[in-house]
Amino acid sequence: MFDARKLRDDFPILRRQIHGKPLVYLDSTATSQKPQVVIDALTDYYSRSNANVHRGIHTLSEEATALYEGARAAVARFIGAPNPHTIIFTRNTTESINAVRHAWGNRHIKAGDEIVLTEMEHHSNLVPWQMLAKEKGAVLRFIPVTENGELALDELPKLLNEKTKLISLTHMSNVLGTINPVKAVIQEAHSRGIPVLVDGAQSVPHLPINVMDLNCDFLAFSAHKMLGPTGIGILYAKEALLEEMDPFLGGGDMIRDVWLDHSIWNDLPWKFEAGTPNIADAIAFGKAIEYLEKLGMPAIQQHEQTLTRYALSKLQAIDGLIIHGPKEAEKRGGVVSFEIPGLHPHDLGQLLDEQGIAIRAGHHCCKPLLRKMSLIATARASFYIYNIEEEVDALVDALRKAKEVFSVVSRR
């Protein structure tokens, strides 16, 4: 059974003291902590099987290849992909989205075409499409965000027409915590023949995801937000789309044959993985997936929802504190952005750090969304499998102390 208190022992960093206080890590939306089995997987690879993949017939190369491709198979299993060949290893979610922008967008987007996004997109799912639109003479349109932090989906049909060539949207907002109804968006889009890219950077680590059930055309996410190492991202795409797309990087291993004047691309998925890949981190990501699978994604979602509900109730009791995003825990993931008027989020983050509490303070790579909310920055606490109610209590106590400190300083 899922037991957050027990599994905390698997994370060595949680034993750290920060400024003489026990570490309370509430910044998993930015990056998650790593269990010992993931750390060990990195050490084991470099200690026992370090070799390049796909290129050797000696034992170490064959071991490395088997581990690397085994990790790919684990990713496919985790998201319900029908074939491991539909899983492309990248560096991160950002690179996965950029891969679609180049490999799919350059072929399919032309002058006057339209791409639909939302007003809550992370810069990683906004800037690449801005660049493509500028290059091609295309137009970006946006699904509005309501005052409650949800998408105004009644506006979607009005945005779609014969010029719409792609919808690209986040599954879960990294600022508001909003879980968007992407399945409904995909159904509406597909009824008009429009493909959909889902930014799953925040959803895949926290929710049960099945790409066959969602029927998304593209899904992008990162290992480091789901117990894995940094430097590994995933692009899933339907096989027919991958087959028609050209590689976005050229070099070794992505070719089947090469002449001086032309080349023939390799089979899927390798035609999109040029050069020596990030072998060690991919293997360690496979271990992270196994760890999550043992816990069970439904149990993880339930734990985070319970913790978020608890946090919302406690934070709402702090006089003057403003919480952004949906009021109902059922509509959001384990992310709570908030502000205390008069106290800058950066100052708040520093005061909390002195109490050993790590949160995020800033614009969260969502400047257009914060601008719409008339904000420069927010403070953000985010939860994952290893967080417990006592840490929420520590956050609340530290926020009350921060208010007192700020009040004293202001009077001076």
Encode pLDDT of 118-137 as tens digits: 999 999 999 999 999 999 99
Residue 1 has pLDDT above 90, yes or no: no
Burial class (CB in 10 A: 0-12, 13-18, 19+), 365: middle
CATH at residue 403: 3.90.1150.10
Of 260, 294, 328, the one marking the end of a domain is: 294
Residues 17 and 108 in one domain: no
- Give the closest residue to 297 by CA, choosing from 383, 206, 384: 206
CA distance 35 to 228: 9
Q: Are residues 79 and 190 in the same domain?
A: yes
Shared domain for 311 and 188, answered yes or no, is no
Last residue of a domain, one of 266, 294, 322: 294
| CATH code, domain with 106 | 3.40.640.10
Between 93-100 and 127-136, two packed helices, what is the crossing angle to 10 degrees?
A: 20
Q: Taking 60 as the threshold, does the pLDDT of residue 410 lie above it?
A: no
Provide mean pLDDT across the span 213-240: 98
Distance, in Å, from the CA atom of 254 to the CA atom of 272, rounded to the nearest integer, reads: 6
**For the residues 223-252, what does the mean pLDDT come to?**
97
Q: What's the total number of domains in the chain?
A: 2
Residues 237 and 308 in one domain: no
Candidates 247, 203, 214; CA nearest to 107 is 247
Same domain, 121 and 59: yes
Q: What is the pLDDT of residue 412?
A: 45
Average pLDDT, the chain: 96
Do 91 and 213 belong to one domain? yes
Report the share of the chain in percent with pLDDT over 90. Answer: 96
Collapsing DSSP to helix, strand or coil, 55 comes out as: coil
Residues 262 and 218 in one domain: yes
Structure tokens at 176: 């508001």
User: Lowest mean pLDDT: which of 276-280, 293-297, 339-343?
Assistant: 339-343
Please check whether residues 260 and 304 belong to one and the same domain.
Answer: no
pLDDT at 407 over 80: no
Residue 33: inside a domain: no
Range of the domain at 84: 38-294
Strand 218-222 versus strand 164-170 pairing type: unpaired
For residue 197, give the nearest of 215, 218, 183 by alpha carbon. Answer: 218
Q: 22 and 141: one domain?
A: no
Give the mean model confidence (pLDDT) for residues 45-61: 95
Per-residue pLDDT averaged across 171-200, rounded?
A: 98
Q: Residue 193 has what pLDDT?
A: 98
In a domain, 319, yes or no: yes
What is the C-alpha separation between 335 and 337, in angstroms, rounded? 7
- Residue 257 CA, chain-centre distance (Å), reads 35
**pLDDT value of position 406:** 76
Q: What is the pLDDT of residue 409?
A: 52
Q: Of 272, 294, 316, which residue is a domain's last?
A: 294
Residues 348 and 260 in one domain: no
Q: Are residues 318 and 261 part of one domain?
A: no
31 within a domain of the structure (yes/no) = no
Instruction: Tell me if 375 is assigned to some domain.
Output: yes
Tell whether 32 is covered by a domain: no
Q: What mean pLDDT is predicted for residues 73-85?
A: 98
- Give, in order, the Cα–Cα distances in Å from 36 to each of 44, 224, 280, 290, 311: 12, 14, 15, 13, 28
Residue 205 and residue 189 in one domain: yes
- State residue 404's pLDDT score: 87
Catalytic residues, which ones? 365
